[in-house]
Amino acid sequence: MLANMPGFGDAVRAARRIAGDRSLGVGLHLNLVQGPPLSYVPSLTDARTGRFHSLASLVVRALTGRVDPDDVRAECVAQIGALRSAGIAITHLDSHMHVHALPHVWRPVAEIARETGIRAVRWPAESLRVGPLSPARLCVKTVVASSWWIARRRAPVMASPDHFIGMTLQGGKHLEPRLLKLLDALRPGVTELMLHPGYVDADLEAIDSYTWQRERELAALMSPAVKQRLRRGDIELVHFGALC
């Protein structure tokens, strides 16, 4: 869940409706790049607007040492608190645009997660051998993985899946056959498949460019072919709580 965005209240209500379903895990999708913060964090925000710096600006600021770790801690605490105040049990932590993988961001995030009892995290280092990619997406995958390997040094160790597949699945086109192929090729261990299923409305279009692809992803996940493949018995669906 994103704690500082317009859909938060609706997400909380949806989670409460299915609270008895223990197959559902809910994580904090830590947001440091969009909308207003939930705390006073001057090194993360534009003084003119009071809103977070863009992703590009945050990356530059993180790499040049202009992100205050105390600001990262404060906002992480505030967003964790928002979920828990709403009655959400947090199974893990990841982040919007993978910003938790940035140097000078991951360490304070990991420290707060450990201090507040969150024991699992997304490991966003995706194998470069998985799936055909455009040059631009290959570049993003390489940068995220490299940042993660640098950032996680000398930071608290947390539980994470053995494998991660995310950017390979983005795009929406021909997703069902790509998903079926990936399911057949899963390696032993726990693999996180990152998708963005959802419905498009005016609120989404106002804040995000990833729109129609979400409905394609939802259709692929709910397709009879994918459901039949999962019923074969060689894949178990779990959430991050199973890692701890």
- Tell me: pLDDT of 198 over 80: yes
- Tell me the pLDDT band of 212, cut-offs 50, 70 and 90: very high
> Rounded CA gap, 22 and 25, in Å?
7
Q: Where are the domains of the chain?
A: 8-243
What local confidence, expressed as pLDDT, does residue 57 receive?
A: 94
What local confidence, expressed as pLDDT, does residue 125 receive?
A: 81
pLDDT digits (tens, 9 = 90+) for 150-187: 766 766 779 999 999 988 888 878 899 999 999 999 99
**Residues in CB range of 117: below 8 A, 6 or more apart:** none
Cβ pair 207, 11 in contact under 8 A: no
What local confidence, expressed as pLDDT, does residue 224 receive?
A: 98
Give the mean pLDDT of the chain: 90
User: What CATH architecture does domain 8-243 belong to?
Assistant: Alpha-Beta Barrel (3.20)
What local confidence, expressed as pLDDT, does residue 140 receive?
A: 67
pTM: 0.90
**Residues in CB range of 188: below 8 A, 6 or more apart:** 162
- Tell me the pLDDT band of 104, cut-offs 50, 70 and 90: confident
